[in-house]
Amino acid sequence: MIGNEIIEQAAYEVMCKAAIDIPDDYLGGIKGMVQREEGTLSCFVLRSMVENYEAASTDRRPMCADTGLPRYYVKVGNEARIGGGFVGVERALRSATARATHDVPLRPNRVHPLWRTDHDNNVGINAPEIEWSFEPDADWVEITTVHKGGLFGTDYRMLFPGDGIDGIKRFYLDTLVAFGKRGLACQPAIVGVGLGGSKDVSMVLGKQAACLRTVGDRHPDPRIAALELELKALGNDIGMGAMGFVGSSMVIDCHIEVGHTHTGGMPMSVHTFCLSSRRATARVGADGTIEPRTDPRWFTPYMRRETVEWTSEAQSARKSP
Amino acid sequence: MDGRSAELAQVDLRIPAAPEDLEKLAPGNVVYLDGMVYTAREGVYRKVLEEGAPLPDGLAAASNANFHCSPAAAREPDGTFNVGGVTATASFRFSKWMPRWFEVSGAKVVIGKGGMSGPDYREHFVPAGAVYLTTVGYGTGALLGRGIRRVHDVHWLDELGIAQAMWVFEVERFGPFLVDSDLAGNSLFEEQGRLVNENLDRVYAGLRPPALRRYGETDDREEELI
């Protein structure tokens, strides 16, 4: 039985860690870009960012003061037994958010959209967002938090099958260029593309693709994986780098997630995660242990299943470790 | 620092900034600040410029540097503040308030994210004798947090909340920032944007527009959204 207090502790720890320590996969990607970047200004920006990540980890202070909209992704093993139930988990996540906001400290960004009132704790109506997913044959609960700047770098469009891959490329470029100018999107970043689903799901998939997959990770469908690499190269060929300065550092990696969609349409969303790509995950075991890591492993074979049935055992054997 | 980064000139600027020091700044210079810097964004602008609240006593004498930002800060039980970092917010949204803010506050240095439009610089900043500094990468919150020596004062905290309150920080080697607009209104972002635009036709070559257009959308790729 996994108790509420251990859920809250894990949620609090990931919230603190995400704010302060840049994930290794992303840091490695940025350091590679520093080597390749030939734009003087863009290169200066990247070097300053690397210094900033080091300062954050050394001083134990947030790497970026814009907390974005801190939120949680929770994956629950089908065999997990949670002491306080799902309501208990949600209560624990709200409490962890408020405590971490004070202790790190995180900027209390969350305000009422109309009255602009701030509880100074990043908790409010529909905040923090909590998204749930499930995993067969598992008895753990995994908690991931993401802090992503909230104002720029994302767009949605209803495309149609006839627009084809060219339409996808064009809308992708539109979004990167529009928000890349002056660096409003805080590039270079991991770019997520959501294709298909209903229009809200297209937004959700793109956001999750940007925030919950690591640099270097490829989609299991080889044709989608090839498109990911093509879009990554296209983004870095715009001629724009960090802060919209001349350069080549735009896309650290590109991840695409798909959902079966309306036969007449092809909804698409594009999301740029931040230069400060803040994410952290912890697995809470059935025995109450907390194992931290930086790879959310959100998109499992079960998440991407295509068929009516899911044969747990056979499919599990194919699961990546 | 490697050779490429070393090409950028570095300047230490004392705040309150003197006009002769501001004259020396050129777009692309790397700037570090010493002295006093205050935050003001939509909450403070509304308070002072729309509701007519007077500026805090002595503010204009202590600082002429307005940072468009909010700190990651927390109030401790003993009344002190823990400031972890600061990160700028995008300045273009504050355009409508800037002319009167210059008059009322005497600000000569505006710091923020992403710069403001060329017309803003030429019509409002140049007459006010003000420059614009942009934060770097927009995420150097920890480096900027290191440069804050202490919270000198905070105004309208209960009313506006941590994110919108006016924070007055005593800073030391506070940076890095890049000069976007100099006293003549030359803008680094504008110049770099023009260079990037030259490449766009090549990148878009062969990609047809989607079947369904969007109302109000433009295909002018040189147009800025701010």
Task: Name residue, tokens 């929770």.
Answer: A74
A-chain CB neighbours of B197 within 8 Å are none
Scanning A51-90 for CB atoms below 8 A from B yields 51-53, 55-56, 59, 61-67
The order of strands in the sheet holding A251-259 is A154-159, A266-272, A189-196, A251-259
Give the distance from residue B1's alpha carbon to the nearest chain A alpha carbon, in angstroms.
Answer: 8
Task: State the total domains in chain B.
Answer: 1
Nearest CA in chain B to A64: B141
A-chain CB neighbours of B8 within 8 Å are 40-41, 44
Nearest CA in chain A to B180: A182
Instruction: Give the pLDDT band (50/70/90) at residue A313.
Output: low
| Residue A316 pLDDT > 60 | no
- B108 touches B127 (CB < 8 A): no
Angle CA A146–A192–B203, to nearest 5: 140
| Residue A138 pLDDT > 90 | yes
ipTM of the complex: 0.89
Q: Give the number of other Cβ atoms within 10 Å of residue B202's Cβ.
A: 10
Q: What is the DSSP letter of A111?
A: B
Domain boundaries, chain A: 4-17+63-148+279-317, 151-272
Dump pLDDT digits (tens) for A294-303: 999 999 999 9
Angle CA A151–A154–A156, to nearest 5: 130
Q: Residue A40 is nearest to which of B8, B145, B199, comparing CB atoms?
A: B8
Q: Could you tell me the CATH number of the domain that includes residue B38? A: 3.20.130.10
Average pLDDT for runs of 10 along chain B of length 226: 65 97 98 98 97 96 96 88 89 96 98 96 98 92 94 94 94 97 98 96 94 84 81
Give the distance from residue B108's alpha carbon to the nearest chain A alpha carbon, in angstroms.
Answer: 22
When pLDDT is averaged across residues A75-102 and rounded to a whole number, the result is 97
| Residue ranges making up the domain that contains B88 | 7-204
Nearest CA in chain A to B214: A157
- A61 touches A90 (CB < 8 A): no
Task: Name residue, tokens 């194992």.
Answer: A291
| Residue A320 pLDDT > 70 | no
Q: Do A107 and B226 touch (CB under 8 A)?
A: no
A-chain CB neighbours of B82 within 8 Å are 105
Whole-angstrom distance, CA of residue A108 vs CA of residue B145:
16
Q: Residue B203 is nearest to which of A59, A167, A173, comparing CB atoms?
A: A173
Give the distance from residue B13's alpha carbon to the nearest chain A alpha carbon, in angstroms.
Answer: 19
Q: Do A170 and B212 touch (CB under 8 A)?
A: no
B-chain CB neighbours of A122 within 8 Å are none
| Residue A314 pLDDT > 90 | no
Long-range contacts of A123-130 (CB under 8 A, 24+ apart): A123/A94, A123/A97, A123/A98, A127/A69, A127/A71, A128/A69, A128/A70, A128/A71, A128/A72, A128/A93, A128/A94, A128/A97, A129/A69, A129/A71, A129/A72, A130/A71, A130/A72, A130/A73, A130/A74, A130/A90, A130/A93
User: Quick check: A153 contacting B, CB < 8 Å?
Assistant: no
Query: Does a structural domain hold residue B214?
Result: no
Q: What is the mean pLDDT of chain A?
A: 95
Fill in the amino acid letter for A295: D
Dump pLDDT digits (tens) for A196-246: 999 999 999 999 999 999 999 999 999 999 999 999 999 999 999 999 999
User: What does the block give as tokens for A200?
Assistant: 């809200």
